[in-house]
Amino acid sequence: MILKIKTSADVPSSEITPESVYHSRRDFMKVGAAGAAGLAAAAAFGGVNAPLFAQANPYAAPLNPKFTVDPAVDKLNTYEQITSFNNFYEFGTDKSDPMRYASRMKVVPWTVDVDGLCNKPGKYDVEKLVDFKQLEERVYRHRCVEGWSMVMPWVGVPIKSVLDKLQPQAKAKYVEFHTLLRPGEMFGQKTGVLQWPYVEGLRMDEAMHPLAFMVVGLYGKVLPNQNGAPLRIHIPWKYGFKSGKSIVRIRFTETMPRNTWAVQTPSEYGFWANVNPEVDHPRWSQARETRLPSLLRNRPTLLFNGYADQVQSLYAGMDKKVLFY
């Protein structure tokens, strides 16, 4: 399938599905009317790229019911909330900076360099790494180490499906994800606020875990630049800084990656960064969190962000303090 990746700039705000319509569309799609949904989505895309999407809007992917939340407990945040309150220091440190400035980042074309301990190194177009015919939607809780959280309907594929194509070698114990380095478009990279490029990493079994997700879309649309277009990871049981954005390099290594925040402030951040209400940040408690848009610490933090039953076996025997750093 030849697929032109749209950018969020190609999607007029009139095409962003309002939440009410979105929820009824989800119910509609859940009953399996995928063909009809595809036609509706193609009509919704319209515009100059319409012929390329004649079959369907690939981002209007079916919800995977194994990876969702109880809407009575975890209400979806709105598209507006998810795209206007962001951490993406490449575009500034204020939460509204990414929304203002991330459109300066060119995301087409987009290639990813693959190197290190794998049998298929090289330069890959994003369409070669991610199978756009296999996209699925997952609703995940997202918990930032700063204490706020949201609930997002991401669209993507398991990270495992991408890494399998690259054939990691047995010696590869970790995988790194590097963000785009382009100071001309990302003015934050002209400052020393962090070491650039932003690097994150996972142990191989974490990256291969069914929950670990490679994201290309949000709310049934292409991923907005401020959320890490065109390719970011989301690791829902870890603090948000583990979920690197706008990935241009995947590297397999034998040694533990030196991730950006651990390099920047090793006394406060580490490699593991697993959500745990009992392990406080050195400067604040992690016992409770602020579920946006509320401004109150209105709910208890959950062990592994509520995914403990699925992931705690990865860390058998490891100390909870170690699992923070």
Under the phi-then-psi rule, with left for phi > 0, alpha for psi from -120 to 50, and beta for the rest, what region is 167? left
Instruction: Return the closest-CA partner of residue 282 out of 268, 303, 296.
Output: 268
Strand-pair partners of 238: 274
Binding mask 32-61 for ligand MTE (x = CB under 6 A): ------------------------------
- Residue 294: both structure tokens together: 């509320």
Quick check: 301 binds ligand MTE (CB under 6 A)? no
Residue 144 vs residues 126, 151, 153: alpha-carbon distances, Å: 27, 12, 16
Task: Quote the least distance from Cβ 148 to ligand MTE, whole Å.
Answer: 8
Residues 86-105 that bind ligand MTE (CB under 6 A): 86-90
Q: Looking at 17, 225, 243, 259, which residue binds ligand MTE (CB under 6 A)?
A: 243
Residue from 41, 42, 118, 144 touching ligand MTE (CB under 6 A): that is 144
Helix or strand run (H / E) with residue 142: strand 136-143
Q: Are 269 and 228 in contact (CB under 8 A)?
A: no
Report the residue closest to ligand MTE, judged by CB.
240
Pairing assessment for the beta strands 148-158 and 136-143 based on DSSP bridges = antiparallel
Pair 216, 154: CB distance under 8 Å: no
Strands of the sheet with 174-179, listed across from one edge: 122-125, 111-116, 247-253, 174-179, 199-203
Given the rule CB under 6 A, which of 39-47, 238-246, 278-286, 314-322 is the region that contacts ligand MTE? Answer: 238-246
Q: How many CB atoms lie within 10 A of CB 119?
A: 9
Stretch that binds ligand MTE, among 10-18, 81-89, 132-140, 302-310 (CB under 6 A): 81-89
**Binder of ligand MTE out of 57, 179, 276, 305 (CB under 6 A):** 179
Taking Cα atoms as reference points, which of 98, 112, 138 lies closest to residue 5?
112
Which residue matches tokens 């006394």? Answer: 267
Q: Give the CA distances from residue 102 to residues 219, 246, 250, 253, in Å, rounded to whole numbers and listed in that order.
A: 19, 11, 22, 30
Residue 243 beta carbon to ligand MTE: minimum distance, rounded to whole angstroms = 5
Min CB(88)–ligand MTE separation in Å: 5
Residues in CB range of 20: below 8 A, 6 or more apart: none
CB 101: neighbour CB atoms within 10 A? 20
In the list 240, 257, 270, 306, the residue contacting ligand MTE (rule: CB under 6 A) is: 240
CB of 226 to ligand MTE, least distance (A): 6
**Using rule CB under 6 A, residue 276 touches ligand MTE:** no
**Nearer of residues 97 and 117 to ligand MTE, judged by Cβ:** 97
Q: Which is nearer to ligand MTE, 141 or 142 (CB)?
A: 142
CB 236 to ligand MTE: min, Å: 12
Smaller CB separation from ligand MTE, 44 or 214: 214
* Shorter beta-carbon distance to ligand MTE: residue 198 or 307: 198
- Residues numbered 181 to 200 that lie near ligand MTE (CB under 6 A) are 198
Binding stretches for ligand MTE (CB under 6 A): 86-90, 142, 144, 179, 198, 227-228, 240-241, 243-246
